[in-house]
A and B are shown apart, each in its own frame.
Chain A
């Protein structure tokens, strides 16, 4: 992860301040040139290619037509994925299969949310299940205590998860990334242990009798798919926005991001809050799905599995993390016949895969696709 960066708040610049300390000799005018490949011609010399030359010429030459089709590919991939999700119950609609598929869809939403924090912004969060817990408990407690329909608890869930995001994010996001990982790990455990010990959350046995969100498992499955699709689309759209770019600038180089005017602290907090919202809303679906919530659902393993989905799929890539989440949640089911060996094989498969393809199943591209607003130019 990244170094500390000479935080504006630090009185003395730290070791990773924007310029090298005494140890690194600075390249004088005659220093060897770092770049191997150099353009033959000087790009800035007076000539037809200078800035005052017509722009069309400069741009037109480097726009392979395949980019538009690549963009379409992504769109089609999304549509195809949704279609598969919609048709799945026609293939197998046993309560068991529906339950597995609903869980997988909720898991996809978690991965999309964690991807904002880890993939876009580069903040390692090892306690993401905490937000799932906050959402599920807030929704479950309110619904059972005050006899509210689950839908009515959503505004409260939003408020509480945003607050949770701020409470954990505000003090820790000034820390270096590796410290952040440890703090989030602790936060995840604190939430679980708190839920385990409070009366209002039902202690170790949790709360049960949480009302349904829809009539029957099929309707609930479709509702979940709809909500999760919107969440995935939303995460993708955020990624392609001013804020989404700022997240990537922070991930790539915090100091350079600051220098271009990105308030890295606020932008990181925004990523954290977005992640919290996605996780919290997934928690509502989670509570509705199981109709019961207990601390056992929010262990470190759960956080680790979501993180694994993000890494397996390809950090920062929305189609990737969706795919990763589906694989992580369905693979143990596929391996079910192996009984006790299935988790062992699951682990071996994951390790093998990450060794063979560390960039993930469907990695984010460095190469930019031509966007619609450019295609119209």
Chain B
């Protein structure tokens, strides 16, 4: 069943067309990669889907519901979580608090509960912390959870950001270059993590430059260049596509 449906998406910045008539869809529980050279418009697509950018034209629906005009928090409310290309953790807050942010949408706790420390407050705080630990365990975070997020090593910060997104319990997770800046071993770990997330039944849209990683995890790959789709299909089809090889500068799509 189709989860996310993007039709004829267009986004312009002044004269520049960052996204130029893109259509794509993501089915429930599927891993779809969005690849393309720098500046192709991949992140812009994410920003349109999540409500950070308002598309110039086109339709974006999630389970049939129109996402246009919704603010990012409302899109998140419909079950979309994301990470950012440049890590956006709450640096001064503890790692646990960062992941607790993911529980914001489903945690049932009123201001009165908090002021009076009602049993419901205690229960919800307990659950919130439990869940934060659960997702930090899930992503395999080893660093200090009680310390500030900025103190984590870079690779761990990437994981913490994914844990925060997962704590939202999303139906669709958008990962923007989750393996950027990771070393070889950490990339292997990321492949494993992405697969385990998919096994939870979460659909994933992945932007990634590491072709090896993309080929390993994706069920489908969409290739963008200058905001337009130039190829779409299973990984092994896409990597042989002449248009794709051309776009990557006569290149070896890095194996």
Residues of A contacting B: mostly: loop
Interface residues on B, range: 35 or more
Interface residues on A, range: 35 or more
Q: Please, how many angstroms separate the alpha-carbon atoms of A59 and B74 in the complex?
A: 33
| Interface flag for B231 (CB, 8 Å) | no
| Residues from 2 to 21 in A contacting B, C-beta threshold 8 Å | 6, 8-13, 17-20
With a cutoff of 8 Å between Cβ atoms, the chain A residues found around residue B88 in the complex are 18, 253, 255-256, 259
B125 touches A62 (CB 8 A): no
Q: Please, how many angstroms separate the alpha-carbon atoms of A31 and B74 in the complex?
A: 34
B197 to chain A, nearest CB (A): 11
| Interface flag for A34 (CB, 8 Å) | yes
A242 touches B156 (CB 8 A): no
| Residues from 65 to 98 in B contacting A, C-beta threshold 8 Å | 70-74, 76-77, 81-82, 84-86, 88-94, 96-97
Bits for A246-274, please: 1 = Cβ < 8 Å to B, else 0: 10110011011111111111000000000
Closest chain A residue to B88, Cβ basis: A256
8 Å CB contact of B137 from A55, A240, A253? A55
Q: Please, how many angstroms separate the alpha-carbon atoms of A47 and B244 in the complex?
A: 37
| Interface flag for B134 (CB, 8 Å) | yes
8 Å CB contact of A27 from B91, B143, B180, B254? B180
With a cutoff of 8 Å between Cβ atoms, the chain A residues found around residue B142 in the complex are 39, 43, 49, 58
Q: Please, how many angstroms separate the alpha-carbon atoms of A260 and B97 in the complex?
A: 12
| CB within 8 Å: A-B pair count | 245
A259 touches B129 (CB 8 A): no
| Residues from 44 to 71 in A contacting B, C-beta threshold 8 Å | 44-46, 49-51, 53, 55, 58-59, 62-63, 67
A42 touches B82 (CB 8 A): no
Bits for A349-376, please: 1 = Cβ < 8 Å to B, else 0: 0000000000000000011101101101
Can you pick out 11 interface pairs between chain A and chain B where the beta carbons lie within 8 Å of each other?
Answer: A13-B52, A44-B188, A45-B185, A55-B134, A241-B114, A246-B104, A256-B101, A259-B50, A259-B76, A261-B102, A368-B147
Give chain A's interface residues, CB within 8 Å of chain B.
6, 8-13, 17-20, 22, 25-29, 31-35, 37-39, 41-46, 49-51, 53, 55, 58-59, 62-63, 67, 234, 237-238, 240-246, 248-249, 252-253, 255-265, 366-368, 370-371, 373-374, 376
